Each structure stands twice: as C-alpha cells, then as structure tokens.
Homo-oligomer: A and B are copies of this chain.
Amino acid sequence: MTKEIYTAALIIIGDEILSGKTRDANTPWLAENLNESGVRLTEVRVIPDDKQKIVDTVNEMRTVHDYVFTTGGIGPTHDDITAESVAAAFGVELELSEEAYAALLSYYEDESDITESRKKMAIIPKGATLISNPVSGAPGIHIENVYVFAGVPRIMQAMFDAVRHELKGGKPVETRSVSADLAESLVADGLAEIQTRYKMIAIGSYPKYQNGRFGTTLVLRGIDDDALGAATQEVVDLVKLLGEKSPIVS
C-alpha cells in the first residue's frame, strides 16, 4: 500500500542560530526541495549544541516522521558533536570509516596532514553510510531515516542533491497565492466559507503592512490540481467583490 503523505523534520543544531548571530537559510531551501520530492516538511526544531538534547530530539523525530534531516555540527572541532550524538541516539558505537578516511586522504593528499582532529571527520556511527561533501572534507551521514548534513547552506544543498533520489514521497503540494490590498478582516467571512467547501485545500491568510497600507496574501495549498484551481478562482472572485481591482495571482 502506498502512503499519500510523507513528512520530514529538520533539526537545526545551532547555538549560532539561537544566539541570533546567524539567520537560518536552510529551512526555505529544504522545504521547497523536499516538496519537489513529495515530502512535506512539517516540523523544524532549533536546538543547542548539547549532546543529550540532540539524542532526545533525533529519537523523538525519527519515530514520528518518515525522514529526519539535521544540519550543523559535523566537522573537526570540539563543538562538532552531531556524529557522536546520532550514534548515541541509535545506540551504536562510533567507528572509523575506511571510505571516509580514504576520502580525507585524497583531499589532504598526505597522511601526515590527517591530524587527530581531521580524523574525527571519518569517524561515524556503525551502520551509517557516507554522504559525499564536494566542497570540504567532512562527509554527511545517513543512518536509517536520518540524514546528517553540514550547516553551511552550499554544502547542505550539495548533500541533499546527493541523496534526493533515495527519498520516497507522495504528490508534491501545489501552491497558489492571491494578493490583495485589503485588510484581512474584510476577507475573513468569505474566506472561511470557501474553506468549508474545499476541505482538501488548506487556505491561509497572511496580513502584511507596507508603506502605511494593509494588504493580505491568501495562500492555497493542496495536491488536487482541479480543486486548487477552483478554490483559487473563488478567492479571486471574493477579493474582487470586496473592491480589489487587480489581485495578484501567482
């Protein structure tokens, strides 16, 4: 039997994000690319660089979701604790991966350059496979339904590209949006009425306030193209009825 909905969680291991110093750039990219594979990102957690917290979060998320992705904390420094935390989450030992060591060797060319810190990048949970890193030395890790990626967006994206063919998914969610220069309280009643008739389409209303004017973006999402088209047309008709002369539909 084929499932209809596949979900994923993203765990951002990120003291840098939590301190406010760095703004996460991986969520939107991963959300869109997962959706192309028919997988819905339905939860994101940003947690500190703390081993027990990583263990608990990975274990909670991997039982709830079809796929779990982590970003951050792979590499040679003392604060890179994702590999050991994921090993602990799965209750497996860490071991030196011959394949990862060979990759490091080809990267650094000389064995004497592989310091203990660099060697750490070749130590992965037993039973895990590697995800190649075309940019720098540290590979990603794949174990069961958990994918361990780097935090640097360019590297994270390359790692996702290397594994996206493995993902099994359903139908991608299609999105339409209708923007109008109307306060959202004006459209609320009509919108709720449309929502009651299109149960399979999720309709969201997002107010905006720009240049002293209120506006609203109405977003419709679903996997049924016909229903999505019909509901979008009804929303367009609604905002026109309420006085919006030229709604922007995309």
A residues apposed to B, CB below 8 Å: 12, 15-25, 27-32, 35, 40-49, 75-80, 115-118, 120-121, 135-137, 151-152, 154-155, 173, 175, 177, 183-185, 187-189, 191-192, 195, 202-209, 214, 219, 221
Are B27 and A42 interface neighbours, CB within 8 A? no
Least distance between A67 CB and chain B CB atoms (Å): 14
Are A76 and B184 interface neighbours, CB within 8 A? yes
Are B27 and A214 interface neighbours, CB within 8 A? no
Which 5 A-B pairs rank lowest in CB-CB distance, beginning with the nearest?
A: A20-B31, A117-B188, A44-B46, A77-B205, A78-B192
Name A205's closest neighbour in chain B (CB-CB).
Answer: B77
Least distance between A103 CB and chain B CB atoms (Å): 14
A-B contact pairs, 28 of them (CB 8 A): A12-B44, A15-B202, A15-B219, A15-B221, A16-B219, A18-B43, A18-B44, A19-B31, A20-B27, A20-B28, A20-B30, A24-B24, A43-B47, A44-B46, A75-B205, A75-B207, A76-B185, A77-B191, A78-B192, A78-B205, A79-B202, A115-B185, A117-B185, A135-B209, A136-B183, A136-B207, A136-B209, A151-B206
Are B152 and A209 interface neighbours, CB within 8 A? yes
Are A206 and B115 interface neighbours, CB within 8 A? no
Partner of A18, one of B20, B25, B31, B183: B31
Are A20 and B43 interface neighbours, CB within 8 A? no
Interface of A is mostly: mixed
Are B23 and A27 interface neighbours, CB within 8 A? yes
- Cα distance A200–B24 in the bound complex, in angstroms: 26
- Cα distance A18–B204 in the bound complex, in angstroms: 13
Are B49 and A204 interface neighbours, CB within 8 A? yes
A135 neighbours in B (Cβ, 8 Å): 209
Name A114's closest neighbour in chain B (CB-CB).
Answer: B185
Are A173 and B19 interface neighbours, CB within 8 A? yes
Are B17 and A44 interface neighbours, CB within 8 A? yes
Are B188 and A78 interface neighbours, CB within 8 A? yes
A47 neighbours in B (Cβ, 8 Å): 42-43
A19 neighbours in B (Cβ, 8 Å): 31, 35, 41, 173, 175, 219, 221
